[in-house]
Amino acid sequence: MAGLVNTVVLITGGSGGLGRVLARAFARQGSRVVITARSEARLTAAGEEIGRAGGQVLALPCDVTERKQVDGLEAAIGARWGAVQILINNAGVARAASFLETTDANWDEILRTNLTGAFYCCKVFLPGMIEAKWGRIINIGSTTSKVGYSHVSAYVSSKHGLLGLTRALALETARFGVTVNAICPGYLDDELTRANAQRMAGKTGKSVEQILDAFASTAPQRRLIDPEEVAGLALLLASEKLGGMTGQAVSVDGGATMA
């Protein structure tokens, strides 16, 4: 993808799942990729995998719910590679529970990770983009950014909030060479979706395959989404090719949401 060689890309939640796929995709384009997550062991493994494939990668542990750690992350990246030019807010957690069973602690954890973490990262890394008069922020939302789902009220609230942040920030940065967009995937064909299916199977008595089929059936295409499809869109949004797109929430969900 034109224009991505040697760009500094930060991907939160980069140790596994979609985050690792995003990191590999940008590394293949010649970007200098920083991955961060809380699990240092998984982060190291992801960094070694990308490095063996020839990618330029830094694996730096950080809890994005802690502002001081995000500040420290900026300092570490700046000392090595300079300012972050492309920020992908991918870190997220989900806990399934009915609203009345959702504890205060679960609500706080999900909102702090999925929404406040993105807020902190934008606060810390946006000024460098404005100074350079160029930058890309890509927030990884979900179909739950656009529609409600039962038994995930905290997650839905966090992802709706992330979409609101995307749109408000896009308005404030539109004249500074920065674009802010969201990608809203449906159920991904990855380890996290399968782990959720495993947990639901244990609670419902259904098989994992039955649960996965139920996930797939929520979309007209009746399939799960390959994380590479999301990564392909992220590359396009980060490039010069879509410099005129900002404040948008693009669904990659097999037709599950059409708005």
Cα–Cα distance, 178 to 71 (Å, whole number): 21
Cα–Cα distance, 37 to 10 (Å, whole number): 11
Active site residue 155: yes
Catalytic annotation, pick one of 120, 149, 155, 187: 155
Bridge partners, residue 183, by sequence: 140, 250
Structure tokens at 13: 């939640």
The number of CA neighbours under 13 Å toward the Cβ of 153 is 11
Give the single-character DSSP code of 189: S
Per-position DSSP letters for 11-62, written without gaps between them: EETTTSHHHHHHHHHHHHTT-EEEEE-S-HHHHHHHHHHHHHTT-EEEE---
Rg (CA), the chain: 18
Q: How far is CA 146 from CA 29, 59, 203, in A?
A: 31, 32, 27
Give residue 242's identity as a one-letter amino acid code.
L
Structure tokens at 255: 């037709």
The number of CA neighbours under 13 Å toward the Cβ of 126 is 19
Cα–Cα distance, 99 to 154 (Å, whole number): 8
Give the single-character DSSP code of 253: S
Q: Which residues are catalytic?
A: 155
